[in-house]
Amino acid sequence: MGKAFDPSLIVDFIPTLIYYLGVTLQILAASVLLGMVIGIAAAILRLFRIPVLNQFVILYISFIRGTPILIQLFLVFYGLPAILLFINIDISRMDALYFVIITYALSNGAHFAEIFRGAIKAVDYGQTEAAYSVGMNNSQSFFRIVLPQAIRIAFPNIANSIIGSLKDTSLAFTIGVMDMMGRGETLIAATAHALEVYLSLAVIYYAVVLLFEKIFRLYENRINRHQTVDVSVTG
Amino acid sequence: MTIDILFIWTAFKEIIKALPITLILTILPLLAGFIIGLAVALIRIYKVKFLCRVANVYVSFFRGTPIIMHIMLIYFGFPLLIDQISKKFDLGIQSNSIPIILFVLTALSLSAGAYLSEIFRSGIISVSNGQMEAAYSVGMNSFQAMTRIVLPQAIAQSIPNFTNIFIGFLHTSSIAFIVSQKEMTGAANIVASTNLKFLESFIAAGLIYWGLTIIAEGLSFLIEKKATAYNRGGVQ
């Protein structure tokens, strides 16, 4: 086993672990994209107050915001096969990765729905009226005028949500997914150097989060480039 | 595999016994984090030399890494550190006699401090400078102006954010089950694996967390109404 704590191992572990960063990013990308679709659909159902579905979306958002992601992960992992068995589809042998993606997509969807709804409501109604006055129809005024402005308002929150989601993916190993954490666990089992493994993981996560923050900030500056100074205090 | 509805109730009764540990793992870190967060926020606002740099790194690191990392790093790191120190100074403290929950509480407190400091900072910045000037004009010093005028307003305005953090940490405490703490998720896991009824147990646990969240949101709404009663807007 050697020394109890060997700092040089931290550097040695990073290449092995970073190889699995792809899986983490794959979970993140798939769940964010699916979450966007769910989020936009849910936000539209809420904004136009479609009966029954509106109440269903409220319940869905409340549930996702009211339970830990870990519980959601277990519920999807054990619940989805049980539900699908009723219609004779057996997915109990499906790769755990897909359960993780489904869970995080549902979770992201609920958060995005609230963010989109808030952002669309935050756009001044005068904008829609102005769009009508120059002869645009409903969908033109929504897609050309309201939505671009709503995206600008929503972007910082979406970015936060994505970074939060990236950190949440570190829990996927609890249902046996081989992402960075999962590989870390096997490294610990093989080398018994738990502290060094977690330090390397922390370094990788931190670096990725910093990189994401940088990219998001650049993009945010870009979409805010037409704004006058008084709107964005921090800009 | 069918769902045993009755077992959800059995599991519910079993899991709710672990509620105190979940609440301890939520409330104690937030109380510690409240003090750390306030100190860090003030250091960063007043740009105290050197400490400001440390505070920036602390907040950035703890907000930039998953909380499970903090728990694991402290869970594996502190025992090593404690054993080294105790060997050097002959203190006779052994790390394996320290209950694991203390490591979890330390880790969660440090993360809570980082998250809360950002909330304090935004709360304090949102109070207009005129309030500070008005306090000076009636003869208060900086400390009085801060504690009597600025902080009460900053905290009252931050109540929705505090609620979010509370709910976030209520949910985060579920991670403690990974280091074999018997809080609600841990209890659900035990009930699930002894009875081989995973879905039912986690449904029960989910319902308890959901209920707690709804209660927390309701309470926060009432407190916010009371705390921001001074702020009636420009008219009236």
- Tell me which of 3.40.50.150, 3.65.10.10, 2.102.10.10, 1.10.3720.10 is the CATH number of domain B25-181: 1.10.3720.10
Task: Please tell me which of the candidates B65, B172, B174 has its beta carbon nearest to residue A206.
Answer: B65
Q: Per residue in A198-222, pLDDT tens?
A: 999 999 999 999 999 999 999 988 8
How far apart (Å, rounded) are the C-alpha atoms in residues A122 and B89? 61
Report which of A148, A161, A60 is spatially closest to residue A111, judged by C-alpha positions: A161
- Residue B73 reports pLDDT greater than 70: yes
CA atoms of A187 and B93, how far apart (whole Å): 30
Q: Which domains does chain A have, with CATH numbers?
A: 7-223 (1.10.3720.10)
Q: Looking at the complex, does the CB of residue B1 fall below 8 Å from at least one CB of chain A?
A: yes
Tens digits of per-residue pLDDT, A42-85? 998 998 888 899 999 999 999 999 999 999 999 999 888 888 88
CA quadruple B28, B30, B34, B40: dihedral sign: positive
When scoring A9, A60, A65, A71 by the number of chain B Cβ atoms within 10 A, the one with the most, hence best to mutate, is A71
Residue B67 and residue A174: Cβ atoms within 8 Å? no
Token pair of A174 as six digits: 């609890």
Q: Is the dihedral of CA A204, A205, A210, A215 positive or negative?
A: positive
A17, A27, A78: best mutation site toward chain B, by most B Cβ within 10 Å? A78
Give the tens place of pLDDT for each residue, A94-150: 888 999 999 999 999 999 999 999 998 888 889 989 999 999 998 899 889 988 888
| Confidence (pLDDT) at B170 | 94
Q: Which helix (H) or strand (E) holds A45?
A: helix A21-47
Query: Over chain A, what is the mean pLDDT?
Result: 88
Q: Which residue, among A21, A27, A62, A70, would best test binding to B if mutated, counting the most B CBs under 10 Å from its CB?
A: A70
Give the pLDDT confidence score for residue A25 in this predicted structure.
94
* Residue contact A82–B209, C-beta within 8 A: no
Chain B closest-CA separation from residue A78 CA (Å): 5
For residue range B154-172, list pLDDT tens digits in order.
998 889 899 999 999 999 9
Task: Compute the distance between CA of residue A107 and CA of residue A164 in angstroms, rounded to an integer.
Answer: 11
* pLDDT number for residue A203: 93
Q: How confident is the model at residue A232 (pLDDT cuts 50, 70, 90)?
A: very low
User: Do the Cβ atoms of A195 and B198 come within 8 Å?
Assistant: no
Of chain A, the end-to-end C-alpha distance in Å amounts to 52
Which of these, A64, A95, A47, lies nearest to A165 by C-alpha position? Answer: A64
Rounded distance, CA B12 to CA B204, Å? 5
DSSP state of B65: S
The per-residue pLDDT for range B175-230, each reduced to its tens digit, is 999 988 888 999 999 999 998 888 899 999 999 999 999 999 999 999 988 888 87
Mind telling me how many Å the CA of B139 is from chain A's nearest CA? 31
**Would an 8 Å CB–CB cutoff place B164 in contact with chain A?**
no
pLDDT band at A229 (very low <50, low <70, confident <90, very high): low
Residues of A contacting chain B (CB within 8 angstroms): 4-5, 62-63, 65-72, 74-75, 78-79, 81-82, 85, 167-168, 170-171, 174, 181, 194-195, 198-199, 201-202, 205-206, 209-210, 213
Residue A9: which of A194, A167, A186 has the closest Cα?
Answer: A194
Judged by CB atoms closer than 8 Å, whether chains meet at B64 and A195 is answered as no
- DSSP label of B182: -
* Alpha carbon of A11: minimum distance to chain B alpha carbons (Å): 16
**Inter-chain CB proximity A62 and B202 less than 8 Å:** no
Q: Quick one: pLDDT at residue B228?
A: 81
Contact B73 A195 (CB under 8 A): yes
Q: What angle do CA A118, A120, A121 make, to 5 degrees?
A: 65
**Is residue B200 within 8 Å of residue B12, measured between CB atoms?**
no
Cα-based angle B174, A83, B192 (whole degrees, multiple of 5):
35
pLDDT of residue B96: 77
Average pLDDT value for residue range B67-87: 89
Our separate counts of H helices and E strands in chain A read: 10, 0
Sort out which chain B residues have CB atoms less than 8 A from A194's CB and list them: 72, 76
Instruction: Between A88 and B166, name the one with better pLDDT.
Output: B166
CB-CB under 8 Å, B198 with A74 = yes
> What residues contact B135, with CB distance under 8 A and at least 6 apart?
B144, B145, B148, B149, B150
pLDDT tens for residues A145-195? 988 888 888 999 999 999 999 999 999 999 888 889 999 989 888 888 889
pLDDT over 80 at A5, yes or no: no
B85-132 tens-digit pLDDT: 888 887 777 777 888 899 999 999 999 999 999 999 999 988 888 888
Task: Find tokens 């990765």 and name the residue.
Answer: A97
Q: How many C-beta atoms lie closer than 10 Å to residue A87's C-beta?
A: 6
B34 vs A: CB within 8 A? no
Chain A residues in contact with B111 (beta carbon < 8 A) = none
R_g of chain B computed on alpha carbons = 22
Taking the Cβ of residue B73 and every Cβ of chain A, the question of whether any pair is shorter than 8 Å is answered with yes
Q: Is A4 a residue whose pLDDT tops 60?
A: yes
pLDDT of residue B181: 87
pLDDT of residue B234: 56
Q: Is the pLDDT of residue A231 over 60?
A: no
Q: At A2, is the pLDDT very low, low, confident or very high (cuts 50, 70, 90)?
A: low
pLDDT confidence of residue B236 = 46
Size of interface A-B (CB pairs under 8 A): 97
Least confident of A21-30, A221-230, B119-128: A221-230
pLDDT at position A28, please?
95
- Give the residue from chain A lying closest to B75, CA to CA: A195
- Smallest CA–CA separation between B52 and chain A, in Å? 19
At residue B28, the pLDDT reads 96
